[in-house]
């Protein structure tokens, strides 16, 4: 668990989650640490660049093969 999700435009549930944060403030540090780890893994610049290069390379190879036909 690394965060909270509430439905869009649901102020009641948002208020409830904020209340839970204040009631369980001692657990928030762990939640924040896990959230940071998730962001660092999913949004690493070098990793994202490598993935984009792989996608573009695959697409270019596919396009080149179609032109050969």
What pLDDT digit, counting tens, does each position of 27-52 carry? 888 999 999 999 988 889 998 999 99
Distances (CA, A) of 42 to 3, 16, 20: 15, 28, 27
When pLDDT is cut at 50, 70 and 90, the band that residue 13 belongs to is: very high
User: What is the pLDDT, as a whole number, of residue 42?
Assistant: 86
Query: Mean pLDDT of all residues in the chain?
Result: 92
User: What is the pLDDT, as a whole number, of residue 3?
Assistant: 87
Q: What is the maximum alpha-carbon separation in the chain?
A: 65
Q: With contact defined as beta carbons under 8 Å apart, do 3 and 31 qualify?
A: yes
């Amino acid at each position: 668990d690394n965060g909270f999700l509430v439905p869009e435009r649901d102020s009641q549930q948002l208020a409830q989650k904020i209340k839970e944060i204040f009631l369980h403030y001692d657990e928030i540090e762990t939640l924040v640490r896990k959230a940071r780890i998730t962001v660092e893994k999913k949004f690493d610049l070098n990793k994202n660049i490598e993935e984009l290069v792989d996608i573009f390379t695959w697409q270019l190879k596919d396009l080149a093969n179609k032109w050969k036909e």
